[in-house]
Each structure stands twice: as C-alpha cells, then as structure tokens.
Structure 1
C-alpha cells in the first residue's frame, strides 16, 4: 500500500502523527506487533490506553446508547470513553479495524474526526491510533469504507526479521518519541498551510479525487486529507523528521500518486520563513515563479494576522506592494486578507498609496 521503509521510520511517522493529533492507521499482517507498538508508545508517554475492537462492538458503542432522562433522550457514552474523558488525555486504540462491519465503521466516523462519543466530547489530548489486517487476512474481514479511510493517515507496518530476532533474544526496546518535545509553532503551521494551498492553486484537480467504488484501503485527496497534510508538515518541520517519515505521512493521507506530485513540487518550492521575511521586508526579493509568490505572500499575511502586531501587519504590506507589479492577482488576494484584519487603531500604511490600483481591483477602494 505504501513505500517500503524500516520499522523505525514507521514508528517515527506514527509518533509524529499522534503528537499532531492526526488519527493514524497501521496496516499489517496478523501477529506482527502492531498492537505491541501502540501500547509501547502509550507506555513511553505514560498515557492510559483504551483498546476497542470493532468486531465485538455495536454501533451504539460509538454513537451512544439512547437513554431517557428528564423527558429528553441522551446518548450515553460507553465506559471506555468516560475513562478517557476523566483522564483528560490518552490513546484510543481501535484494533482490528477491518473486522468492524459497515454499520460500526459508520458509527466510528465522528469519533475519528471529532472525538465525539455519544454526547461526550473527548479531550483534545486524547489521540486516536488504529490497526488493521488486510480484509483477506482478517477474520470475517470487511473493506474499509472510503469516508472512514479519508479520516486516517495510513501507514504500512513492516516485518523486520532482525528486529524480531533481537527483540526475542534481549527484549524489545522502547519506541523513541518524535514530535512531542517541540510542538509546531504558529509560523510553521501557517507556512505548511500556505504550501498546501499553493500546490492546490497549481493542481486544483487534486483537491478532491474520490476513489472508485464504495470501499478503499488507503488515503485519498480531499480538503480534509490535505488539511491533515498541512498539520503533518508542520509537525515534521518542528520535530526535524526524516525525509522518509514525511513522505510516508503525506502518502498515507492523500495516497501515493498525489503525494508523489506534491512532494516533488514541495522540494523545489524553497519557501522562506515568513517571520524572517517580515523582519526585513525591504531586503526580501520575491521569487519569479507565481506559485512561490502565492506561497510566500499567503504565509506572510497569515503570520502577520496571527501575530496581531501592528508592526508586523504594516511590514506585510511592504511585501504585498512588491508583488503588486509582478503578480497583481495574488497581491489582490493578500491585500483583501490584510485589510479585513487591520489591528485596532492601526493607521493606514503609506504603502497603500502604491497599491491603489490593486485595491481598486479588489474592491477595497
């Protein structure tokens, strides 16, 4: 289903996905240590873990059991969800996912995406990991429905004979943690979003590519999965992740074909740090490629707005003014964003005089 990489890279990718709060699914043969890897990660984090097996559950175990209370119907969550909510953090491990029939998979959708069980909202620090055997290897296996597949990042779990032999001889080592020590900064998150947005400007056909048929066993491009890619890119940047880990995470979210094209494009994007651009906008020279201009300007504007700093907002206009001559359409878009997010009591910058034609086009003058 994905590229062949070592178990350490997959553990790195899984750890980064968990740290970023992106639900992840490990695909592998039965008895190859997927469950052990997830429980070991929870042990290293010192987090509680709740193991839920779909084949022995009913839809009401995820959607909530209707209970009449004071003349109203409440959806009571199961005990495993109440325990996680009480702890405030932990791993929800959905094991043997392909043994869950379609009705149970449908009931899982809101849990995987929103962490809602019945009427209970699980805390943000509850992270979701799943494991599955391929349907032809699972007991009474079912294909994974496309809506559920689109909510998960898919990773292939490798078999490493030497790792198994050494583990059996001297014990299996604890998995290293990636992504938890240095969470992604706001600038990294906004830069990652700008990168994804710029790519989809160039390749709009990849924004949504529904898989054929009703079942699918891998990720596929959609606005939701591209959002996950942005989260994962930021987490990879913050963690200093390996190239292989980043690659399998992107492929696990949007599929191999879209990932290959995106990663190839990203490698040549060379997007600067928007904070560095805002620190010295007069010295920054805009790139010549329109997709890079779009990425730079959207990242700079997003950071300037997020900082809520009048000085940063003012310097962002300097960058927009530079782009107005070579990329007026992009400058128009970013000018609209900045103008609609002006800090309180902020004076109109002198740079706007140079942007008058652009702002008229944007309907801002």
Structure 2
C-alpha cells in the first residue's frame, strides 16, 4: 500500500487514535450560575464590545466557542498579534479610473463572511500582543464596525481577549483610545469547574433574554439612573488614569457611560443578576466610578416609570433628593420614548408632585425637557403652572401664560 493510500485508509495506524480523540472531544454542557459567564453573556446581548483579561491557557477561546454555539451563530477568530494594520484598514484595490471611482479598501475574508451572514461573533484574540499600529487600525473596527470599505452588520457581536502584559508574548499596554471602547471583564478559572469539565461536563450560562414588555420601562429607568448619578457626581463623567496600566483598562468617559447605560437597560429588561450587572458596569467605567454607581443603585430602588405614567395620581414621590431627580428624569425619558398627549399630561401630574413636596428646583430640568415635547395642538395642563415662569425664561414654552 502506498503512503498516500495509507493516509486515507480507514484502518490506518492513526485511525484508532483519532477515534479516541473524537471520543474525548464529545462533551456535554449543563446550566450553571457563574457570574463571569453571565456577565459576558449580558454584555454580548447588549451588543457592547467585550475584552476578557486572563492568563494564557484558562479557556478564553473555548469559552467563545461555547458561547457561539449557545447563541446559534458562527464564530470568526482573528489573532490580532499576527496581523498587519492593513488587514483591518483594508488593502487598496485600484480600479480602471481611480480619479472617478476612488480606490476601495478590500476587506479580509472573515469580514466578508460576517457581512454575508448578517450576524455572528467576532473574536479578536491576543489583543495585548498586538503592536500599537495594529491597535490603532482596530479602533474603527471596534467603534464603527468598519473593515476596509465594508461595514459589519449591527448584529455582529465583538469580543476580544488579552493576556496581562506581564504574561503576554511581547506584550503591550492597550492604547487608551482602544481600551476605552471595551467592557473589561476579568476571566478566571474555577478548579472545580475545570475538574468537572475533565469528566466531560462544562457549564453553560443562560443567555439573558430581553423581555419586550419591560424594554420601555428598562430604558427609562436606566436613563434616570445614569443621568441622575452624573448630575450628582459630575467629576466622574471623564477621568483618564495617570498610569499606563490604568489607561489600558476601564475608565470613565462619555463613551463608556453610554455603554453603561445600554448595559444597565439590558440588565433591567432581561432580569440580570446583581453580580452580572456589577461586573459589566465596573468593566465599562472602571472600579472607582463603577463602585460609586453601584452604591448609588443599591439605595435608589426606582419605581417603573411606565407604571407611574399609567396611574400618575397613585404614586408617592421618593423622599431623597437624588432619588427624586433620577425618578423624574426616568419619567420624562419614558414619555419621550412614546410621546402621546395622555403620557405627556401624565408626566406633568408627576412633576406637580415635586412642587407640592416643596422641591420645584429638583423638577426644573425635567420640566424643561417635558415642555420641549409639546405639540402645538396640545393645551397647557394645569400642572405646568408652577413652572411657567422658569420655562418662559428658558424659551421652552412659547405662548404660555
């Protein structure tokens, strides 16, 4: 038998070894409550780019394969450290008349496959081993979803993995612009989970499912929380760490607060656990700002603004000033999401309770935002009387008495 025939013969010398390896590769999964898996699934559900930090060999890549299988989408793995900047910026292709048509930048094959499918999981591995020029080229991919002349579909989720620079081959700190585009999660291993995996069973975290009936209220609550918190703590809107390691991880900026808003709204709408929400929020804005936000959340306990708008006379205004501000912002955000006359008038009933409680200054900003939504045909409700002077000065209510 020739060598070529032996290589393809089912009874060749490696057939039994291949069958053994296939048997060892057949594993099963079971539902498990693992905060780091739930946090990853929550960030992916919210469609926020995620960066997993962990030592080599602890299963980041295997976790991506299981996540893609659970989501029922394809996985495209790109080893960032072995690519050139042009692999992400695109290679120029000169046509017949570049002065008329320009020079398009050809995308790589993995981007074309994702665009053709319309969805999927894009996994950038070894990000901290990529040199600064490659990191710079990745900025547009992560933020704008643009690879060369191709724009990735919105349904494509982006996840990356990095080893700490101390344990990465030729490791680099992430550049601040690239680091500020990710939700940073620490990826660790649990010896008991690994031991059970060696027995053939690996954990599978359930994917958070957004409840459409809770979506509007969740979005409004999240807006009230984040806006109210930043109103009370304006110094945390933007803070670039002083050290290179800190600048290469999570830190607060308007961009990452937008990420935190989306993560919080998704968590509310999907009923995510407190542990998962804690991980993703600190992973977005950093430990310092994140812990302050979590402390604020712990004592906030906002009612659902949609329920309040349905029965505005039946609720009691929160007593604490920070809760009042967050709640009123949430109510106005809920009206803005579906600005009908009935909901707009219900909003004024809510704001009037702040006046009755002796805190019209707390409701002033919310009143200006609510007044700006008024349609010309809508009459001025009675609840607006206490704000008329303020709104006329601000020009938010033309023609009001």
Q: TM-score range by the shorter chain?
A: over 0.9
Residues 344 and 41 of structure 1, relative CA distance in 2, 3 Å threshold: farther
* Residue 22 (1) aligns with residue 37 (2): no
**Over aligned residues, Cα RMSD in angstroms?**
1.9
* Residue 103 of structure 1, CA deviation: 0.8
The one-character-per-residue Cα deviations of 1:78-107 (angstroms, maximum 9, x if unpaired) are 111111011000001011111111111111
Assess if the C-alpha contact under 8 Å between 2:216 and 2:306 holds in 1: no
Name the CA shift for 1:181/1:337 in 2 (closer, same or farther; >3 Å): closer
| Range that drifts further, 348-357 or 303-312 | 348-357
In 2 relative to 1, CA 208–137 (structure 1 residues): closer, same or farther, beyond 3 Å?
A: same
Q: Structure 1: which 5+ residue stretches go unaligned?
A: 1-5
Whether the aligned pair in 2 keeps the contact of 1:272 and 1:296 (CA below 8 Å) is yes
Map of 1:316-355 to 2, 5 A cutoff?
Answer: 316-324=347-355, 326-343=358-375, 345-355=377-387
Displacement of 1:181 in angstroms is 5.3
Q: What SS class does the counterpart of residue 272 from structure 1 fall into?
A: coil
Any conservation in 1 of the 2:223–2:333 contact (CA below 8 Å)? no
Q: 1:344/1:108 Cα in 2 relative to 1: closer, same or farther (>3 Å)?
A: farther
Give the aligned partner of residue 303 of structure 2: 272
* Separation of aligned partners in 1, 2:332 and 2:278: 28
Task: Name the residue aligned to 1:122.
Answer: 152
Q: What is the rounded CA distance, in whole Å, between the counterparts of 1:231 and 1:172 in structure 2?
A: 30
Alignment of 1:193-204 (within 5 A): 193-204=223-234
Question: Does residue 62 of structure 2 align to residue 33 of structure 1?
Answer: no
Bigger mean CA offset, 225-234 vs 208-217: 208-217
Contact 1:25–1:132 (8 Å) recurs in 2: yes
Q: Distance in 2 between matches of 1:230 and 1:113?
A: 16
Q: Residue 283 of structure 1: CA displacement?
A: 2.4
Q: Which residue number corresponds to residue 148 of structure 1? A: 178
2:385 & 2:190 partners in 1: Cα distance?
A: 64
TM-score (norm 1): 0.93
- Residue aligned with 2:252, SS: coil
Tell me if 1:285 matches 2:286: no
Displacement of 1:350:
3.0
CA contact (8 A) 1:293 1:327 kept: no
Q: Which residue of 2 aligns with 1:210?
A: 240
The 8 Å contact of residues 7 and 158 in structure 1, kept in 2 or not, is answered as no
Is the contact between residue 301 and residue 316 of structure 1 (CA under 8 Å) also seen in structure 2? yes
- SS of residue in 1 equivalent to 2:300: coil
Q: What is the deviation of 1:76? A: 1.9
Secondary structure of 1:128 counterpart: strand
Structure exhibiting the larger radius of gyration computed from Cα positions: 2
Structure 2 Cα separation of the partners of residues 63 and 152 of structure 1 = 19
1:3 paired residue number: none
CA distance in 2, matches of 1:214, 1:78: 32
User: Number of paired residues?
Assistant: 359
Deviation at 1:361, TM superposition (A): 4.1
Instruction: Report how far residue 217 of structure 1 moved.
Output: 3.5
4+ residue runs over 6 A deviation = none
Map Cα deviations across residues 94-129 of structure 1 (whole Å, 9 max, x no partner).
111111111111111121122121222111110001
Question: Is the partner of 1:355 in helix, strand or coil?
Answer: helix
